[in-house]
Amino acid sequence: MSSQARPSPWEHLALGALILLLFGTGLRAPLIYDDAAFILKNPLVTGSWPGFEAFLSTSFASQGEYEPLGTLLHWGLFQIAGEEPFLYRLSSLLLHWTAASLFLELFGRRLANARAAWAAAALFALYPGQTEVLAVSTFKKHLLVAVGAGAVLLLQTARPRKSGHFWAAGACLALALLSKESALAIPLLAAGASWAEGSGRGGRLKEDLPFLGVLTGVSLGFCMMRTLLIPRSFGGPLLDSWPLHFLTSAKLFCWSLAQLPYPWDLCLEHSLGPVRWSGDGLPFLYFLGAAAGGLIWCARRDRLLAFGGFWTAAALLPFMNLIPYLNYSLVANRYLYLASAGFFLAMARAGQRLLEAKPGARPAVLGAFAALGLCFAAADARRMVVFTDLLDLGETTAACAPGNPRAHSNLASVCLGLRLNERAEKAALTAVALAPGDGTGLQALAWVYARTGRLERAVDLLEAPARETADPGMLETLAALHLQAKRAGPALSALRDARRPGPISETNRLNTGIALGLAGIPDEAERELLPLTAGGRHRDQAFKALGDLYRQAGRLDEAESAYRMSLEAAPMQADTVLSLARLQARRGRREAAVLILDGFAALLEKNLAPM
């Protein structure tokens, strides 16, 4: 291997500087989209330390997803930063830089040319599809898988190989698998790398069998553990037809390949639908046949070029819905993350081959790579700005994916948070019309009804679907609506039905405590609420509920203390301020009550003053 193939520290730093320059605008972007459900509402993340067993034996979502390492990482970030987004965003940028640096080292060893390696790694780092992975913290799982893949493939190139390399590769693969199941593609990548490295028919496959055996053993062990701990059920084929289902997979593969050189469809959701009749799917089969033929042709002439193509295909394979698991979004830009590294490796190798055949084409080749990098950079800058504005992101997503119910239900949730009730209702109605069983859309519409004086209509909307599906989110929303109507019994029933094995959500505990207090069961209510006062996103509301509970029981000193602790955790609470002032008046402290109200008025005026 040429010494020139070893990237210098400056080249690694240059990659990091590019990433910070183009994606750094998202460092202050709020936690958005899946982050709300899988970070801020996930009891494994926001609760106290549950023990490693809880992370390893619990799904982070109702569909049976198993991503314990990402959940554990977010638990640590939440303990440090709470809901402040900076550390979540910074950690994503650092992981992206780590993946790009690992691939830079790997490309240098494979291409034996530091400049070509840096070009490929830079294009990977700047690829506009990565904005989605960096802007939504829940998507860190793709970053973690890529870091694991880069580490395994680098360890594979070690010569001479020692026992420590085997253990390290197995550990890296295990951590990647605990981040996301798509890491099962890593042993395939390692096998392809072994074939591409040698000159014989099988390359280095025979020599690398022990290394590949370790990776295979880790993968099989993970599959067995995954099946025993968190069994996952899969749906039937799309449109109840396996032929159309696999034709749709071919369509998804073609869409993904088309996105890599020209990422024209940058959207958080997509309206791409399934193939509805065989004739409509045949062109995708022809395209795949041509791509396979091209890969075979490359394999006979340049193994490294073929390996880049194989890497791209193998990394895409877990996201092609061959085993049914996808829902309203059949494709996503984030699914291209690891695949894009293989694609740009193939591009760099193709550029090398062209220059070997036609040295005079050097200016044209370098110009083409530079132009592509500039186009990627411009797209990155524009796209990251969208992620910093929740409303802009919601409206942009609904506009570019008009047939996707998730796009509209997300917009409805954003508008609810901004109190744009009319816009929220329109978006929620669209989501429900596109997918009547979409729980997120139904919940958003129910909240709109409740906020605009149609509480009973909101309850009627959710009652039947929440009970039929037993969806925890819908049941907890239904319970909150019953609490608004001061109906403790139905609220408690819904909250108990929403509880599942594993940590109980803080929202469930809070509303259960409030409902028990409303039902006249103060001791049980206190037991539910007290753990929430230790920390978490509902600490202020838990103290407020305890204050109400103590006030009703005549424990006025404890009630006053609880109200004050609530305001210490979150000062801008008009209802808590009013409760504390009324408590002081009840105790004959009218001057203290007036001071409390005046202090809140001054605080409110300060916060409403123009910047």
> Residue 525: is its pLDDT beyond 80?
yes
Instruction: Report the percent of the chain where pLDDT is more than 90.
Output: 53
Cα maximum dimension of the chain: 94
Angle at 434 between CA 272 and CA 267, to 5 degrees: 40
| pLDDT tens digits for range 546-563 | 999 999 888 999 998 999
Q: Residue with structure tokens 């139905």?
A: 490
More confident residue, 504 or 175: 175
| Tokens matching residue 328 | 């309203």
Could you tell me which residues come within 8 angstroms of residue 515 by beta carbon, excluding any fewer than 6 positions away?
A: 479, 482, 483, 488, 491, 492, 495, 525
pLDDT value of position 601: 84
Which residue's entry shows tokens 């290394």?
211
Of 520, 422, 510, 439, the closest CA to residue 63 belongs to 439
Q: Are 353 and 116 in contact (CB under 8 A)?
A: no
Q: What is the model's pLDDT at position 539?
A: 86
- Over the stretch 412-430, which tens digit does the pLDDT of each residue have? 999 998 889 999 999 999 9
What tokens does 380 get? Answer: 């990155």
Mapped onto helix, strand or coil, the DSSP state of residue 296 is: helix
Q: Is the CA virtual torsion 101, 106, 110, 113 positive or negative?
A: positive
Could you count the other beta carbons within 10 Å of the beta carbon of residue 561?
15
pLDDT digits (tens, 9 = 90+) for 57-70: 776 655 567 888 99
Nearest to 398 by CA among 271, 560, 487: 271
CB 45 within 8 A of CB 490: no
Per-residue tokens: 95: 């992981």
Confidence at residue 329, expressed as pLDDT on a 0 to 100 scale: 81
- pTM beyond cutoff 0.85: yes
Phi, psi of 510, rounded to the nearest 5 degrees: -60, -50
Mapped to the 3 state alphabet, what secondary structure does 310-348 carry?
A: HHHHHHHHHHCCCCCCCCCCCCCHHHHHHHHHHHHHHHH
Which stretch, 316-330, 394-408, 584-598, has highest mean pLDDT?
394-408
Mean pLDDT for all residues in the chain: 89
Which pLDDT does position 61 carry in this prediction? 58
Confidence label for 610 from pLDDT (cuts 50, 70 and 90): low
Q: Please give the backbone phi and psi of residue 568, each rounded to the nearest 5 degrees, phi first.
A: -65, -40
Residue bearing tokens 């680098």: 154
For residue 4, what pLDDT band results from cuts at 50, 70 and 90?
very low
Average pLDDT over residues 331-339: 95
